[in-house]
């Protein structure tokens, strides 16, 4: 008994406290070396500009962002991509979750089948869609041709107008299942009582959905949207495989541009500066709509 | 922190103590093991995974068997090789004794003084520095500054672009081998009009205009032939000169005879169209030549011909794309490395490399009767290589090529006019150059 007590209180003697630190040391060491140190190091890198005499301290990398057309255009693509994909994935995911929350025949099969895209590695998805979208040999144009459509102008990833749409569609295809899964879990966690009460009060189906389901589903919606937003803003792999940012610059997102700056041009300072801007934007957006959803819940 | 850590452990029982002892002993042992291996004769090579690297890998195995020098191979895909090498060179770890590099990377490596000057090493071995058997254009790439400076590498694979065309279709429609870009355009039109039948479309030409390297590589021979230059004598970018704009307009005209979507094509798509027999001409690299006689892939066996690039205002010039081998300045075994480098680039070894699919950089190998019988395109390849031009020799080439390629791709996908694309490209290139100063 006395032994147990010794461990339960925070620190009863100096040697115990030392032992506690000792046990914590590996975790702290890992955190420091793998997260904190690289973060600080990359900040110092972003604040240095290469010059013939070596590195020198400067805000040059951050100033350059504002006059860099490629950066601004990549940011624009990232936001269009994230917004379109997020809205579609949420709508489709919610519809599917509501549909498969009912007792319908073959529900298990549908649920399992819907999750397949999400389990594929992004690189595989990229390669498969790249082949399907190929204007000359691809399955999509081949099928359309079979139905008698003229596919000459449908060059998908090669057309500046269609390329961004194509990569967004691929993202929706792959990640709607994730939104669906989270929302379905949310739906199943809602107890039956509020529905029974609503029924007794004579509310319509729409009213039940609007005033019972949605408010109770809010935490799940919040998590799904938050995770998808963070993922969408840093999208890299599918686009890299599908278009490598092209044609021209039409599908270049910020992550691709950061990669290029770092590993093709070896300008780590500039790449780090862009990464910090992306980090800041992601944080702000996340906080903003967590607040937004919280206040709506409170009202 | 470590002191506290050990003190805390030492205070506990004997089991812990023995554990710590074991740890320390094994650590010391592993360190001493590393020491002992580095003193034996061994070399580490960084190579490209692909046909070029494979030949060198096999050569390394032969060398190992002949001399007993142990050779470690670090093999990377093309895109990663550059970053791995630059990281090693930048941090001066000396992980590699020899590196294979694509020639556009060379100015960057040499300008930063990352490579070993070969002249003193060659003198020590009693080998002349300027081996006259190497194709001049290839050897010039290995010097910094270009052509005139000190020798920092030796050329191993002698690639340069070639003009590919379907000789059966040219004969059928009584067309001559294209000597000028106007001939190319006329032939593309004739073949596309006469060979397309309903759904089976035949394209007169196929090019790749995906942003980056692809678009630039396919544009440069037209750009140069039209009399344009990327930089003027003072180093200012001039891609939007009248000649440059005329060249891009011509490229867009030729694009009308290229399969739709070519603004996102890379080498694979161009190769597929040629192999499937759905396009009649293209600029391409010699590495594709052997695949045309592969019955499993090719529908055009015996129908392809290869020649030097067409002319316009100026005579046609191909872009050179050689693989070089260099010794990093921090290499641990420079002496053993130069022995291997000299051996691997002898005429005898280069012939073996040629038989493994790599174009040589030595004239005596290009004209070797056995090889010419086996590779009938060798005379054309040698002519193309001898008259080829390098991409502009600047340490910022990667960035410039990226920006230039984006605007070329935009013009080819119809997003920008030729004038707008080149004006914007010129402005971006100027910005890149200013940053470098």
Give the pLDDT band (50/70/90) at residue A12.
Answer: low
Residue B432 in any domain: the answer is yes
- CATH 1.10.3720.10 spans which residues of chain A? 68-298
Give the pLDDT band (50/70/90) at residue A138.
Answer: confident
CA-nearest of B202, B205, B203 to B178 is B205
**Which residue, chain included where needed, has tokens 């055009």?**
B300
Same domain, B356 and B414: no
Whether the pLDDT of residue B292 is over 80: the answer is yes
Same domain, B143 and B47: yes
Residue B150 in any domain: the answer is yes
Tell if the CB–CB gap between A247 and B264 is shorter than 8 Å.
yes
- What average pLDDT does the segment A194-207 reach? 91
- What average pLDDT does the segment B189-201 reach? 86
Tell if the CB–CB gap between A136 and B265 is shorter than 8 Å.
no
Query: What is the pTM assigned to this prediction?
Result: 0.84
Tell me how far CA of residue B342 lies from CA of A60, B63, B129, B158, in angstroms: 45, 12, 11, 16
* B418-422 CB contacts, 8 Å cutoff, 24+ apart: B418/B245, B418/B248, B418/B249, B418/B252, B419/B240, B419/B245, B421/B248, B422/B239, B422/B240, B422/B244, B422/B245, B422/B248
The pLDDT of residue B266 is 86
Whether the pLDDT of residue B314 is over 70: the answer is yes
Give the pLDDT band (50/70/90) at residue B436.
Answer: confident
A30 burial via Cβ count (<10 Å: 0-12, 13-18, 19+)? exposed
Same domain, B89 and B103: yes
Query: Which residue among A25, A243, A249 places its CB closest to the CB of B264?
Result: A243
The pLDDT of residue B31 is 45
A25: closest CA of chain B, how far (Å): 9
The CATH number of residue B326's host domain is 3.40.190.10
Give the pLDDT band (50/70/90) at residue A1.
Answer: very low
The pLDDT of residue B252 is 97
**Which residue, chain included where needed, has tokens 């070993």?**
B116
The pLDDT of residue B38 is 41
Query: Which residue among A145, A152, A157 places its CB closest to the CB of B264?
Result: A157
B4 touches chain A (CB under 8 A): yes
Give the B window 49-88 contacts with A, CB below 8 Å: 82-83, 86
- What average pLDDT does the segment A52-61 reach? 75
CA atoms of B276 and B297, how far apart (whole Å): 8
Tell if the CB–CB gap between A136 and B278 is shorter than 8 Å.
yes
CA atoms of B340 and B361, how far apart (whole Å): 17
Token digits of residue B185: 């355009």
Same domain, B376 and B304: no
Residue B3 in any domain: the answer is no
Give the pLDDT band (50/70/90) at residue B360.
Answer: very high
Please give the residue that has the higher pLDDT: either A189 or A298: A189
- What average pLDDT does the segment B189-207 reach? 89
Whether the pLDDT of residue B433 is over 60: the answer is yes
User: In this predicted complex, what is the ipTM?
Assistant: 0.81
CA atoms of A222 and A179, how far apart (whole Å): 11
Residue B202 in any domain: the answer is yes
Same domain, B412 and B276: yes
Residue B46 in any domain: the answer is yes
- What average pLDDT does the segment B225-235 reach? 94
Which residue range forms the structural domain that includes residue B60?
42-159+320-386
- Note the pLDDT tens digit of each residue in A73-113: 999 999 999 999 999 999 999 999 999 888 788 888 888 88
B211: closest CA of chain A, how far (Å): 5
Residue B242 in any domain: the answer is yes
Please give the residue that has the higher pLDDT: either A149 or A68: A68
Tell me how far CA of residue B210 lies from CA of A204, A277, B216, B225, B419, in angstroms: 55, 28, 9, 21, 19
The pLDDT of residue B250 is 97
The pLDDT of residue A155 is 84
Whether the pLDDT of residue B27 is over 70: the answer is no
Mutate to test the interface with A, among B3, B264, B395, B420 (most CBs of A within 10 A): B264
The pLDDT of residue B299 is 93
Same domain, B280 and B375: no
- Note the pLDDT tens digit of each residue in A212-269: 999 899 889 988 999 999 999 999 999 999 988 888 899 999 999 999 999 888 888 9
**Which residue, chain included where needed, has tokens 């004579």?**
A202
B158 close to B359: Cβ distance less than 8 angstroms: yes
CA-nearest of B392, B317, B314, B404 to B141 is B392
Same domain, B380 and B417: no
CA atoms of A128 and A134, how far apart (whole Å): 10
Token digits of residue B262: 């070519």
- Note the pLDDT tens digit of each residue in B96-145: 999 999 999 999 999 989 999 999 999 998 888 778 899 999 999 999 99
- Note the pLDDT tens digit of each residue in B29-46: 444 444 434 445 889 999
The pLDDT of residue A58 is 84
Same domain, B167 and B228: yes
B272 touches chain A (CB under 8 A): yes
| Residues of chain B contacting A243 with CB distance shorter than 8 Å | 264
The pLDDT of residue B200 is 77
| Residues of chain A contacting B209 with CB distance shorter than 8 Å | 247
The pLDDT of residue A298 is 56
Same domain, B300 and B290: yes
Query: Which residue among B398, B403, B409 places its CB closest to the CB of A247?
Result: B409
DSSP 8-class letter at A210: I
Give the pLDDT band (50/70/90) at residue B309.
Answer: very high
Tell if the CB–CB gap between B259 and A135 is shorter than 8 Å.
yes
Q: How many CB pairs under 8 A join A and B?
A: 96
Residue B14 in any domain: the answer is no
Give the pLDDT band (50/70/90) at residue B74.
Answer: very high
Whether the pLDDT of residue A5 is over 80: the answer is no
**Which residue, chain included where needed, has tokens 């994230």?**
A82
Tell me how far CA of residue B147 lies from CA of A22, B233, B341, in angstroms: 62, 17, 20
Query: What does the mean pLDDT of chain B come to?
Result: 88
Give the total number of structural domains in chain B. 2
Q: Which CATH architecture has domain A68-298?
A: Orthogonal Bundle (1.10)
Same domain, B329 and B381: yes
The pLDDT of residue B390 is 95
Same domain, B429 and B285: yes
Same domain, B153 and B180: no
The pLDDT of residue A295 is 67
Token digits of residue B211: 């942003």
Give the pLDDT band (50/70/90) at residue B268.
Answer: confident
């Amino acid at each position: 008994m006395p032994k147990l007590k010794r461990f339960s209180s925070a620190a009863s003697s100096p040697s115990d406290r030392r032992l506690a630190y000792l046990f914590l040391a590996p975790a702290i060491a890992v955190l420091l070396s793998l997260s904190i140190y690289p973060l600080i190091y990359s900040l110092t890198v972003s604040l240095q500009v290469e010059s013939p005499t070596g590195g020198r301290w400067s805000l040059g990398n951050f100033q350059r962002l504002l006059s860099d057309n490629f950066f601004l255009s990549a940011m624009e693509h990232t936001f269009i991509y994230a917004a379109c994909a997020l809205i579609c994935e949420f709508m489709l995911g919610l519809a599917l979750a509501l549909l498969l929350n009912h007792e319908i025949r073959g529900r298990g099969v549908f649920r399992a089948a819907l999750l397949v895209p999400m389990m594929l590695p992004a690189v595989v998805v990229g390669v498969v869609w790249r082949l399907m979208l190929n204007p000359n040999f691809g399955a999509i144009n081949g099928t359309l041709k079979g139905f008698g459509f003229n596919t000459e102008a449908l060059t998908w990833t090669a057309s500046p107008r269609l390329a961004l749409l194509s990569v967004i569609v691929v993202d929706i295809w792959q990640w709607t299942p994730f939104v669906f899964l989270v929302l379905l879990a949310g739906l199943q966690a809602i107890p039956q009582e509020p529905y029974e009460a609503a029924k007794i009060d004579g509310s319509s189906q729409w009213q039940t959905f609007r005033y019972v389901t949605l408010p109770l589903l809010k935490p799940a919606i919040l998590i799904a949207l938050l995770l998808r937003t963070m993922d969408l803003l840093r999208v890299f792999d599918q686009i890299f495989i599908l278009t490598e940012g092209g044609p021209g610059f039409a599908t270049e997102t910020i992550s691709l541009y950061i990669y290029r700056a770092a590993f093709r041009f070896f300008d780590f300072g500039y790449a780090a500066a862009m990464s910090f801007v992306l980090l800041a934007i992601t944080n702000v957006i996340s906080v903003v709509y967590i607040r937004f959803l919280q206040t709506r819940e409170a009202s | 922190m470590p002191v506290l850590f050990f003190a805390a452990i030492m205070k506990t029982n004997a089991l812990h103590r023995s554990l710590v002892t074991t740890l320390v002993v094994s650590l010391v042992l592993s360190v001493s093991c590393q020491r002992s291996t580095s003193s034996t004769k061994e070399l580490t090579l960084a190579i490209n995974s692909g046909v070029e690297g494979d030949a060198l890998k096999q050569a390394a195995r032969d060398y190992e068997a002949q001399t007993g020098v142990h050779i470690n191979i670090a093999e990377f895909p093309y895109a990663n090789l550059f970053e791995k090498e630059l990281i090693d060179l930048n941090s001066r770890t000396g992980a590699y004794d020899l590196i294979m590099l694509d020639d556009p990377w060379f100015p960057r490596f040499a300008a930063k003084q990352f490579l070993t000057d070969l002249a003193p090493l060659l003198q020590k071995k009693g080998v002349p520095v300027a081996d006259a058997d190497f194709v001049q254009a290839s050897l010039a790439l290995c010097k910094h500054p270009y052509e005139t400076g000190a020798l920092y590498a030796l050329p191993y694979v002698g690639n340069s672009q070639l003009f590919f065309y379907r000789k059966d279709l040219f004969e059928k429609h009584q067309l001559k081998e294209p000597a000028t870009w106007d001939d190319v355009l006329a032939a593309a039109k004739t073949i596309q009009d006469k060979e397309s039948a309903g759904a089976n479309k035949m394209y007169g030409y196929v090019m790749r205009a995906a942003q980056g390297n692809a678009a630039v590589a396919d544009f440069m021979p037209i750009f140069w032939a039209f009399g344009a230059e990327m930089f003027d004598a003072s180093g200012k970018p001039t891609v939007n000169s009248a000649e440059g704009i005329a060249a891009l307009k011509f490229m867009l005209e030729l694009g009308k005879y290229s399969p739709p979507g070519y603004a996102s094509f890379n080498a694979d798509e161009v190769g597929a169209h040629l192999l499937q027999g759905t396009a009649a001409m293209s600029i391409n690299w010699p590495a594709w030549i052997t695949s045309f006689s592969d019955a499993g892939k090719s529908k055009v066996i015996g129908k392809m011909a290869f020649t030097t690039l067409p002319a316009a205002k100026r005579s046609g010039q191909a872009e050179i794309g050689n693989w070089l081998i260099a010794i990093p300045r921090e290499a641990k075994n420079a002496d053993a490395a130069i022995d291997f480098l000299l051996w691997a680039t002898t005429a005898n070894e280069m012939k073996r490399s040629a038989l493994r699919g790599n174009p040589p950089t030595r004239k005596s190998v290009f004209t070797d009767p056995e090889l010419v019988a086996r590779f009938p395109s060798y005379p054309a390849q040698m002519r193309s290589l001898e008259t080829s031009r390098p991409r502009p020799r600047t340490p910022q080439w990667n960035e410039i090529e990226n920006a230039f390629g984006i605007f070329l791709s935009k013009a080819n996908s119809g997003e920008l006019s030729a004038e707008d694309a080149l004006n914007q490209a010129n402005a971006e290139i100027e910005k890149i150059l200013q940053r470098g100063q």
